[in-house]
Structure 1
Amino acid sequence: MNAVANTAGPQAWTAQQVAQDHGWIQRLSAEEVQGFRDALVHARGTGKTLLQLEQADFPLPTASRLALERAIATTQGRWGMCLVKGFPIDDWTEEETRLAYWGMGLYMGVGRTQNRASQCINDVRDEGADYKVKGGRGYNTNAGLDFHQDSCDVVALLCRRTARTGGMSKVISSIALRDRVQALRPDLIPVLQQPWFHSYQSTQDPSQPPFYRCPIFGDDPAHFCARTNRKNTVAAQRDFAEVPRLTSLQEQALDLLDQLMPSDELCYSMELERGDLQLLNNYVTLHSRTPFEDFEQPDLKRHLLRLWLSVPNSQPLPPQWQEYYGDVRAGAVRGGVRGSSISQEFLDYERRQAAVLGMAIRPWAPVVRKEEMAELLTA
C-alpha cells in the first residue's frame, strides 16, 4: 500500500506535485476485495435498512478495515485527498453497491444528510435538473460545476459507471489557492476572512434562515480551512434582498479565485474509473467537474454514489464556521444539511455511530434561527 499517514497535516500542493507523487493513491489487494465481498453477503442476510446497520452487520476482516482507515487518514495528511482503486462494482447490482458502500461508511465516519429530503446517501447522476437556478444543486445534472467543497469533513464518491464523454474530476489545494492570493493581492486576504452570505439552496432546516454566514478563508494559522461556492454566494444576492450587497473588493476577490482555481498550476484533473473511491478533505481541497455527455441506455449512464462523512480524526474549525457546521471541535460530529425530513431512525444511527467511533456529538439545534437572523440584519 502507498497510503500516507497523517504526520505533518495537510500542506499546499500544485498539480505537478500531485501528478508526480502518487502517495495519495491506494490499490486494493485481492484479500481486501474479498473482505468487502464477504461482508456484503452477510449484510444482505440481515434484512436491515441502511440506517439500522451496524459494523457487526457488515463484518470486515482486518485487512479490509485497515484499507479504509488508511484512506481516511490520508485525507487528513499531505494532499488532503485519497483515491482507492479496485472495488468490485462490476460484480454488484446497484442496490448491492449501495449496501456495500454504506457498510464501508460504518468504518470511516458518521454519514451526514445531504439535501432537502434529508437523504444520507446520494446518487450523482443526470436527472435532468438545472444547476444555476434557485435551489439548484450540481449532483443531479450533467453540468460543469463551480469549484466548491461539500458540507462535511470528507466527501466520498464511489464510481459505478462513467459518462460517454466528459465528467472529469478537478481538484485543487485551497491552501495553495490562499498562498497565490497572498502573493498577488494580499489586500484581499482580510476580505476573504470576513463572513460572507451564502444561500442554503433550500436545504436548511425549517427553523433556519435560507442563507448563512461563513468566511471563504479561515484565519487559524495552525488549521487552515476554506469554504467557497460562487453559485451559492450569487444565489444569496439574487434571491434575498435583505442580504448585504457584495462590495467591490468582494467581487474582485471572487473574480481572482475564478481566475486562479482552474489554472494549470493549481488544478489537477483525474478520470474516475469504475470501482474508484475518491475521498476529499473539504477544508483543504476544492473540487469541480467538467460537463459530460451520457449514454442513451439507462443501464450505461454515468453514476456515482456519494457519502458525506464526519470523521473521527478531523481538524478543529474557526468559531465563525459554527453557524454552518454546528460544531467546530476536532473529531466532533458536524456538517451536512438538515433538510426537512430528519427521521428518528437517522438520529438513532447518528448517536450509535458516534459512540462506536468515539466521536463527540451534541443534539442538533440551529445556531441562528430565522427570527434571529432577521433581527441581526435589521439592526
Structure 2
Amino acid sequence: MADVAILPYDQYTDAPGTLFVKREWEEANAAHPENFDFGDVPKGWPKKLTGPLVWNGKDLHAHPEKYVRLLKDDEIAEIDAGLKAFQKLSLPASAVAQSTFPLPKLGASLRAIGKNLYQGTGITLLRGFPIQKYNREEQVLIFLGLNSWVADTRLDQGIGRGICHIKSIKHLDPAQRGKIFVSAQNNDAQMYHSDAGSEIVGLMALSLPSSGGQSTVASGWQVYNHLAEHRPDILRILAERKFRWTANGIPEDGVRLIHWLNEKLYINFATRTFIGYAEAPERDHKFPPLTFEEREAFGGWQWISEQFSLESSLQVGDIEWVNNLHHQHARRGYIDDENEPRHLLRIWSRDSEFSPELPLDIKNKFDAMFKEAPTFYPLDEIEEDIRRKETGVFTASCKEETAAERVRTGFTKLVLG
C-alpha cells in the first residue's frame, strides 16, 4: 500500500470554503474587538448547565472507569448463551429483543448502562467481547441482542435498515454503486454532528483501520457552558434562527438546531445535512447560502466541541453508546488496510422507560422518520448498497431526488454517519 497521509483534524472541514477549519474559526473569533458585546444567552435559558451530562473529555480520559465497562469471562459466556438461545428459535434478526435474547445476569447491568445514557454522563464504552470468533450473521445478532437491553426500541436508519454498516465503499466502481453522501461510506474525517434520527447511537467495532479513525464525543452541555460565557451570540443563532433543508419532518420555514425544554438542552443538527457531503458537496440551491454569522456559529460549535472532546481509539469488539440528544460525535480520518478495512456496525435506538419528552422540532422530524419498525438487516455494506440502488434512495444528489422518493422513504437523504 502506498503511503497516504491523514489530514490533521484541525485542517479538516466537511465543506471547504463554507465550514471553518480550526484556524479560520480562531481568526474569525479574534477579529471581534476585545471589548465587543456579544449579548446574552437566549431569553429564558440558563447561563450555566450542571449535572453529569456536563463533562470535559480530558477528565473522562484520565478516569476511564467513569465510562468504560469491561466484560468479565462469565458475562462473555452469558452473551454466547444468549446468542445460542436466540438461534434455537429460528427467528429473523428483526425479532431480537430482551425476551428472545436472554441475559439473566448481565441484563441488569446493561439496563443500568441505558439509564446512564439518558440520566448520567450519556456515554458508555463496553469492552472485551471477542467478536471476531463469530461469523457475520452472529456478530449482527450479538450486537442487536446487547443493544436490546440497553435501549429496547430499534429505529429505522433509512430503507428499512435496523442496522447500518460503517465501512468505506470508495474502492468500488462509482458506476456500480450509489453516490457517497455520508461519512459511513468513506474514510474522511467528520465534523461534530448529531445523527439524523436517534436518541441513542450504538457502534460496534468489527475491524479497525491501519491508521486513524479514532472516535470522538463532545458533551453538548459543556460546549453550551463555554459559549454561554464567551460567545452567547452563537447560542442565540442556533437557538432562535430557523435553518432549512429538504427532508420529511422539516417544515418549509425550517427548524431551530438547539432547544431548551424541561430544564434540559437538546441538540439535533449536522452541518452536512444542509451543506452536502462527499459526492453531493453543495447546498440545495432553493435555499439561500449561509451567512457569515451562521458560518461563524457553526465554526464555534465545532471547534469548542473539539476542545472538550473525548477521543477513543476503539478496540475490536468495543461497543460505544452515545446519547444523540445531548452530545455530538465525530471521527478522525483514517487509512484502511485493504485486507481488513475499518468496519463498524451502527444502530439507532430509543428506550421506552427512559425516553424523554422531545422538543417539537425534533419530535416532528422523528415522527416523520420512524413510522414503522425496521425489517432490513444487511450482513455487509454491499447488500446495503444494493438495496439503496433498488429503492433509488441515497443514490443521487439532493436536487435529483424526486418528491415521490421523499414521501416513500419518509427520511432525509443525508443520513449522518
Q: Could you say which TM-score interval applies, normalised by the shorter chain?
A: 0.7 to 0.9
Matching of residues 92-103 of structure 1 within 5 Å? 92-103=134-145
Match of 1:360 in 2: none
**Paired AA for residue 46 in structure 1:** L
Distance in 2 (CA, whole Å) between partners of 1:189 and 1:101 is 37
Question: Is the contact between residue 98 and residue 152 of structure 2 (CA under 8 Å) also seen in structure 1?
Answer: no
CA contact (8 A) 1:134 1:235 kept: no
SS in 1 for 2:77: helix
Unaligned runs of 5+ in 1: 1-7, 327-334, 347-368, 371-379
Residues 250 and 365 of structure 2 are in contact (CA less than 8 Å); yes or no, is this contact kept in structure 1? no
Partner of 1:261: 305
> Contact (CA 8 Å) 1:308, 1:336: kept in 2 or not?
no
AA aligned to 1:163 is P
Look up the equivalent residue of 1:144 and give its one-letter code: A
**Alignment-derived partner of residue 183 in structure 2:** 138
Cα distance, 1:305 vs structure 2 = 0.9
Contact between 2:161 and 2:374, CA under 8 Å: does it hold in 1?
Answer: no
Q: How many positions carry a matched residue from both structures?
A: 317
CA contact (8 A) 1:223 1:315 kept: no
Tell me what 1:128 maps to.
Answer: 170
1:147–1:228 CA contact under 8 A, matched in 2: no
> Could you give the per-residue CA deviations for residues 41-90 of structure 1, whole angstroms, max 9, x where no partner exists?
122222211113443332222x1211221221221233210111122313
Matched, 1:71 2:113: yes
Is the 2:283–2:289 contact (alpha carbons within 8 Å) kept by the matching residues of 1?
no
When residues 293 and 238 of structure 1 are mapped into structure 2, their CA distance, relative to the original with a 3 A threshold, is closer
1:186: which partner in 2? Answer: 232
Which letter maps to 1:33?
I
Q: Which residue of 2 aligns with 1:165?
A: 211
Show the counterpart of 2:319. 277
The reply on whether 1:249 has 2:293 as its aligned counterpart is yes
Supply the distance in 2 between the matched residues of 1:212 and 1:125 (Cα, whole angstroms).
35
Tell me how far apart the structure 1 counterparts of residues 302 and 374 of structure 2 sit (CA, whole Å).
41
Q: Secondary structure at the match of 2:261?
A: coil
Give the alignment's Cα RMSD to 1 decimal.
3.0
Specify whether residues 9 and 75 from structure 1 end up closer, same or farther in structure 2 by C-alpha distance, changes over 3 A only. farther
Determine the C-alpha separation between the residues in 1 that align with 2:349 and 2:330: 19
CA gap of 1:343–1:147, structure 2 versus 1, over 3 A, is closer
User: Quick check: 1:24–1:83 contact (8 Å CA) kept in 2?
Assistant: yes
The one-letter code sitting in structure 2 at the alignment partner of 1:100 is: I
- Aligned equivalent of 1:295, options 299, 317, 337: 337
CA distance in 1 between partners of 2:204 and 2:169 (Å) = 18
Q: Quick one: structure 1 residues 68 and 195, their matched pair in 2 at CA, closer, same or farther if it must change by over 3 Å?
A: farther
Q: Distance in 2 between matches of 1:344 and 1:36?
A: 23
1:315 CA displacement: 2.6
Partner of 2:32 in structure 1? none
CA distance in 2: counterparts of 1:199 and 1:121, whole angstroms:
25
Q: Say which structure, 1 or 2, has more relative contact order (CA 8 Å, 6+ apart).
A: 2
Identity within the alignment, %: 21
Query: What secondary structure is seen at the aligned counterpart in 2 of 1:69?
Result: helix
Distance 1:41 1:198, change over 3 A: farther
Aligned to 1:58: 101
Which residue in the other structure is 1:320 paired with? 361
User: So what's the TM-score if we normalise by structure 1?
Assistant: 0.75
Q: Secondary structure at the match of 1:48?
A: coil
What residue number does 2:71 align with? Answer: 28
In the superposition, relative to structure 1, how do residues 212 and 114 fare at CA in structure 2: closer, same or farther (>3 Å)? farther
